Amino acid sequence: MLKSGLLRLSESPTAKRIITRAPLSRSFAQRFVAGDTLREALDAARALNEAGLSVSLDFLGESVATRDEAEEAARMAIEILEAITREGLNANLSIKPTQLGLDIDEAFCRANIERVLSRAAELGSAPGEIFVRLDMESSAYTERTVALVEGLWADGFTNVGTVLQSMLRRTPEDVARLTALGSRIRLVKGAYQEPDTVAFPDKADTDRVYVESMKTLLEAGTYPALATHDEQIIDAARRFTWERGISKDSFEFQMLYGVRRDLQTRLQEEGYNVRVYVPFGDSWYPYLMRRLAERPANVVFMAGSVMREARSDGAALGKPALAIGAGFLAGLAAAVAWRRRR
């Protein structure tokens, strides 16, 4: 019920106003979003690179309503690619199809994506182009996104892949479909509210499909991205690759900016490739709410994460960190109370 409520709040303009205006809520959000500007995101990416971590940059936004907005999103995507090359960063790009106009016109969206992919290919250096990931949105877009990747590959754009969600019942078929293509896949659990006819209602089934799909992808050798903070699944991946003699260089773990930085560092020190998903921009509210909804315990976990890291940096930071976490939780509580009154 809490997950469902969080997802509904992510789509509510009123809840957005309450939470974003709550004292220090924005400060809390900035713990998990690199900033409003590309410059801030690039600085965050450089710091992560210096720590041995690669990056996927994502300019937040989705479901644009006009062609001008979609074209501006494509322009920003190209600006990010050019900045990655100019500053010599170990980074790729994540974009959402609806941000580039999928809801407006599919051919128009594809033309925008092709502009981005063409520029990524031009800017890339050996061994190939800068990789671009089409983020997966709700199940209403799954078939269109998978088909979009297939069509792009058929036309020679092999520097693109997408994301599959283990919560969806169709995912094993999509894994086979995109693996046959040779496309790189980011595997996630999923963060959208879906009907039981489309998605598994039980977490155990989502986890089971994740592990099964993960093993298929690891054996296929298409450099999958295992996007999870679930240590049981991470341990399962480590055991499976060790037992099968699968190289650590043939896949990567992916984690979110600001979440489990201790685990990111530990895996990197053990010789695994680790990529951090770095979102930026002022459209942080729906992104953060979906991250909380993925596992409602994240509401407390994220607040605790801020405070734990503050304590490790010195007792003087403890009170500000506590205030940041408390401010966000207060905003969330107000939004939940508003929702219940409706």
Lowest mean pLDDT among 82-86, 261-265, 301-305: 301-305
How is residue 248 annotated by DSSP?
A: G
Tokens 């644009």 -> residue: 64
Alpha-carbon distance 189 to 257, whole Å? 17
Is the pLDDT at 299 greater than 90, yes or no?
no
pLDDT tens figures, 70-96? 999 999 999 999 999 999 999 999 999
Which pTM does this prediction carry? 0.81
Active site residue 186: yes
Using DSSP's 3-state secondary structure scheme, residue 249 falls into: helix
Alpha-carbon distance 56 to 61, whole Å? 15
Alpha-carbon distance 52 to 34, whole Å? 18
Residue 258 — pLDDT band, cuts 50, 70, 90? confident
Alpha-carbon distance 111 to 101, whole Å? 10
Using DSSP's 3-state secondary structure scheme, residue 28 falls into: helix
Asked if the bond preceding 279 is cis, omega within 30° of 0, the reply is no
Is the pLDDT at 269 greater than 90, yes or no?
yes
- pLDDT, residue 321, reads 47
- pLDDT, residue 283, reads 72
Give the contacts of 30 (CB within 8 A, at least 6 positions apart): 284
Least Cα distance to 237 among 214, 254, 217 occurs for 214
Tokens of 190: 């999923």
Lowest mean pLDDT among 4-18, 66-80, 323-337: 323-337
- pLDDT, residue 96, reads 95
The DSSP secondary structure of 292-319, one letter per residue, reads HHHSTTHHHHHHHHHHHHHHHH-GGGHH
- pLDDT, residue 192, reads 81
Using DSSP's 3-state secondary structure scheme, residue 227 falls into: strand
Query: If you average pLDDT over every residue of the chain, what do you get?
Result: 84
Is the pLDDT at 255 greater than 70, yes or no?
yes
Residue 317 — pLDDT band, cuts 50, 70, 90? very low
Residue 127 — pLDDT band, cuts 50, 70, 90? very low
How is residue 199 annotated by DSSP?
A: B
pLDDT tens figures, 140-161? 999 999 999 999 999 999 999 9
Is the pLDDT at 331 greater than 60, yes or no?
no
- pLDDT, residue 124, reads 74
Residue 324 — pLDDT band, cuts 50, 70, 90? very low
pLDDT tens figures, 151-196? 999 999 999 999 999 999 999 999 999 999 999 999 999 978 889 9
Is the pLDDT at 291 greater than 80, yes or no?
no
Alpha-carbon distance 292 to 13, whole Å? 17
- Which run of H or of E encompasses 159? none
Residue from 119, 133, 135, 207 carrying the catalytic annotation: 135
CB atoms within 10 A of CB 4: 11
More confident residue, 11 or 338: 11
Residue 245 — pLDDT band, cuts 50, 70, 90? very high
Is the pLDDT at 236 greater than 70, yes or no?
yes
Residue from 133, 186, 207, 275 carrying the catalytic annotation: 186
Residue 259 — pLDDT band, cuts 50, 70, 90? confident
- pLDDT, residue 303, reads 54
Active site residue 342: no
pLDDT tens figures, 13-39? 665 565 656 555 666 667 788 988 999
- pLDDT, residue 158, reads 95
Using an 8 Å Cβ cutoff, are 209 and 172 in contact?
Answer: yes
Residues at the annotated binding site for FAD?
Answer: 136, 165, 189-191, 203, 228-229
More confident residue, 307 or 91: 91
Right CATH number for 45-280 from 3.20.20.220, 1.10.1380.10, 2.30.110.10, 3.50.50.60?
Answer: 3.20.20.220
Is the pLDDT at 231 greater than 90, yes or no?
yes
Give me the residue spans of the domains in the chain. Answer: 1-33+292-342, 45-280
Beta 54-59 vs 160-165: how paired, if at all?
unpaired
Residues at the annotated binding site for substrate?
Answer: 96, 290-291
How is residue 128 annotated by DSSP?
A: B
CB atoms within 10 A of CB 117: 26
Residues at the annotated binding site?
Answer: 96, 136, 165, 189-191, 203, 228-229, 290-291
